[in-house]
Every structure is written in C-alpha cells, then in structure tokens.
Amino acid sequence: MANVSLILLDDVEKLGLAGEEVHVAPGYARNYLIPKGLAAKATPGTLRLIESRKALIAARREKELAEAKALAEKLAAIEISIPMQATDDDQLFGSVTARMIAEQLAAQGCAVEHTRIKVEPPIRTLGSFEVEAKLHADVVAKLKVWVVRG
C-alpha cells in the first residue's frame, strides 16, 4: 500500500515538526492528521503557505520552549504529597497514577496534562519517588512525589 505525502501544519510527536513533509499511511492521514488540522496534502499551495508561516512557526517554537523551561524550573521546586491507603507493610491498595499527580499539581497552580507525566515503574508503595514530566520535546522536568498513608 502506498504512503500519502503530507505537510505538517503543527508539531506532531514522534512524526515531525511543522513545515516538514512526511509520508504516512493513508488511514493515519485520513482519520487522524487531516481531520485534527495537524497536516494537509502536499500541494504547491500548501508549500507556499508553509513558507510564508516559517517565521511565525519559529517564533511559536521559541515561546513554547521558553514556557516549558520556566515550568520545569517551577516543577523542580515543588514536592507533592499524595495520601493513599496502604497495608501494614507499606504496600498500596492500587497505585499512584499520572492523573493523581496532575490533579495535585493543578491544586498547587501548575497545570500539566496527565499524558505528559510518566510514572515508570508504577508507584505501589509508600515513600518518596521521582517522576518525569515531558513538557516539550527538549524539556523533561523531574518532580518529587511523596506517597503517604491516608
């Protein structure tokens, strides 16, 4: 099956940056990239449009990178505490999820999407853990999570 040639209108993780020409499966293009406005078919008109937007795209990337770095510094200073029920030998009933961590961060004024938080390996005991949050392609923040008896 032949691939479809597209121009990315926005950065797509694990695929490419805005303005790049990519070759993807027709179903991926038809069902995801084009309907979400992330890409358009590679035509001469689209290429001209992207060329005219290159300065705007570069400025937006710089702004997003600066915001991500600022948020990473803010997250490095934060320690969050998550109360959980646990057995007598400190094993949790369940595990701490990325969504729980994102809710605690939001309560402290740092909005981070739960999909950007990586809890590897899963937290299943009481204690102190370091969790990564991928804020940007080039910025990964580490935050301290305390799991306490609730």
What's the pLDDT at 1? 64
User: Domain residues of the chain, as ranges?
Assistant: 4-64, 72-149
Average pLDDT, stretch 16-30?
93
The reply to whether omega before 121 is within 30° of 0 (cis) is yes
Please identify, in words, the CATH class of the domain defined by 4-64.
Answer: alpha beta
What's the pLDDT at 62? 93
Element (H, E) at 82: strand 79-84
- Taking the C-alpha atoms of residue 2 and residue 20, their distance in angstroms, rounded to an integer, is 19
Q: What is the pLDDT of residues 75-111, one digit of tens each?
A: 999 999 999 999 999 999 999 999 999 999 999 988 8
What's the pLDDT at 141? 93
CATH homologous superfamily of 72-149 equals: Ribosomal protein L9, C-terminal domain (3.10.430.100)
**Phi/psi class of residue 124: alpha, beta or left (left: φ > 0; alpha: ψ in -120 to 50)?**
alpha
Lowest-confidence region among 10-19, 28-37, 87-96: 10-19
Report pTM. 0.78
